């Protein structure tokens, strides 16, 4: 119901919080972390997202499937986690 009334009873008191600053970037659209590869031009809200993006340029895939017989590797932890569901039988789609 608060969505409809606009009531916001919970506020963050730590204005300088790093998490709050990252969250505010969602609303402002600020993306201060630029990809250093010439000609790329992409920018990101967090340094971690930029770091994961760098794998597209380097080809690095640091997340390796630990399932015996599976030799897949992934550039992001999210993609690895999604892949691991194949082995566990837990599919969300």
pLDDT in the model for residue 46: 92
Q: Which domains does the chain have, with CATH numbers?
A: 30-60 (3.30.160.60), 61-93 (3.30.160)
Can you give the pLDDT at residue 72?
Answer: 96
**pLDDT at site 40:** 96
Phi, psi of 22 (to 5 degrees): -65, -40
Mark the ranges of the chain whose per-residue pLDDT is less than 50. none
Give the pLDDT of residue 51. Answer: 93
| Residue 56 CB contacts under 8 Å (≥ 6 apart), including other chains | 75
**C-alpha closest to that of 32 among 53, 47, 18, 54:** 47
The pLDDT of residue 23 is 81
Q: What is the DSSP string of 8-73?
A: -----S-TT-HHHHHHHHHHH----EE--STTT--EESSHHHHHHHHHHHH----EE--STT---E
The model's pTM: 0.64
| pLDDT for the residue numbered 65 | 96
């Amino acid at each position: 119901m608060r969505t409809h009334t606009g009531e916001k009873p919970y506020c963050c008191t730590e204005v300088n919080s790093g998490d709050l600053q990252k969250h505010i970037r969602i609303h402002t659209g600020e993306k201060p972390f630029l990809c250093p590869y010439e000609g790329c031009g992409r920018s990101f809200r967090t340094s971690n997202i930029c770091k994961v993006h760098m794998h597209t340029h380097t080809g690095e895939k640091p997340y390796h499937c630990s399932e015996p017989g599976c030799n897949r590797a992934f550039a992001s932890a999210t993609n690895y986690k999604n892949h691991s569901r194949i082995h566990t039988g837990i599919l969300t789609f």
